[in-house]
Amino acid sequence: MNPYHKTTGIIIKVRSYGEANKHLTIYTKAYGKIHAVAKGAKKMKSRFGSTVELFTETKLFLYKQAYADLYLLTQSQISTHFKNISKDVKKYTYASAVSDFMNTFVPFGEKSHSLYELFIHTLHRLDTQKHEDKVFSMFMVKFLTQVGFRIALDSCTSCGADLKQNKRMSVSPKHGGVVCETCASGISTVEVYNNTLKLMDFLHRKTFDTLSKITIENQSHMEIEKVVEHFLEYNFELKLKSLKVMESIRSYGE
């Protein structure tokens, strides 16, 4: 098997590795999420320069022997540098939260063209637009679908009771949708406004271009986050690290 690989990827995590090296987690177009080592990348005059910095989209030349877990980065070139994300604390925090989703819930070695597109579009929007909260909410809703979940909205997923007229809804990650009061007893649910679920359905169907035309209340952002977080953590049995920071950024931004 050819040990040389060429693809493009976005750096989602950077750690020190030995004295001079960087250990990278990268979401790539061709191989999905991978681990790679950039030798000497911590040195001042490293040939990798800013291509191995967080959130950079980089053209990668990789070497990996069959059955090895780790790729070796041999060469790299900048594809996209998000200059506002790297300068602006708020943008950086949102980008970090997006990376946290990619880091936590995306399995290694599974490529997905549509997930790559969602990721890169989200970073572009965060870099260039003012309303980071709207971009992030749309990302979360679309991410949930990308990893296989679509929340059933109108009727109880357990007994089928019609819930269209309810103002408040109980969402059950276990059942994959809303549940009525009877079916909600004794199981873990998230309580949100019905309008939040309608908004999620809207965001799921629309593109990022729509965001400039709509207003989303802070309350709805927080409810969307609560539903998505609960759904993913329940189904993957893994925890996100970044959302506590998001809370403080939101209240600071008010």
Tokens 């599974």 correspond to what residue? 110
> Applying CB under 5 A, does 203 fall inside the site for Zn ion?
no
> Within 149-188, which residues bind Zn ion (CB under 5 A)?
156, 158-159, 161, 180, 183
Angle at 34 between CA 30 and CA 35, to 5 degrees: 145
> Within 27-86, which residues bind Zn ion (CB under 5 A)?
none
Which of 23, 20, 24, 1 is CA-nearest to residue 10? 24
Rank residues 158 and 235 by Cβ distance to Zn ion and give the closer one: 158
Rank residues 68 and 187 by Cβ distance to Zn ion and give the closer one: 187
Q: CA dihedral in degrees (133, 139, 140, 141; nearest 10)?
A: 110
Rank residues 28 and 170 by Cβ distance to Zn ion and give the closer one: 170
Least distance CB 177 / Zn ion (angstroms) = 10
Q: Read off the tokens for 78.
A: 């900048």
State the alpha helices, DSSP H only, in 10-131: 83-87, 89-105, 113-128
Least distance CB 228 / Zn ion (angstroms) = 22
Rank residues 115 and 178 by Cβ distance to Zn ion and give the closer one: 178
Least distance CB 192 / Zn ion (angstroms) = 17
Query: End-to-end alpha-carbon separation of the chain, Å?
Result: 55
# residues contacting Zn ion (CB under 5 A): 6
Least distance CB 174 / Zn ion (angstroms) = 13
Q: How many helices (H) and strands (E) does the chain have?
A: 8, 8
Rank residues 12 and 180 by Cβ distance to Zn ion and give the closer one: 180
Residues of the shown chain interacting with Zn ion in the complex, contacts defined by CB under 5 A: 156, 158-159, 161, 180, 183
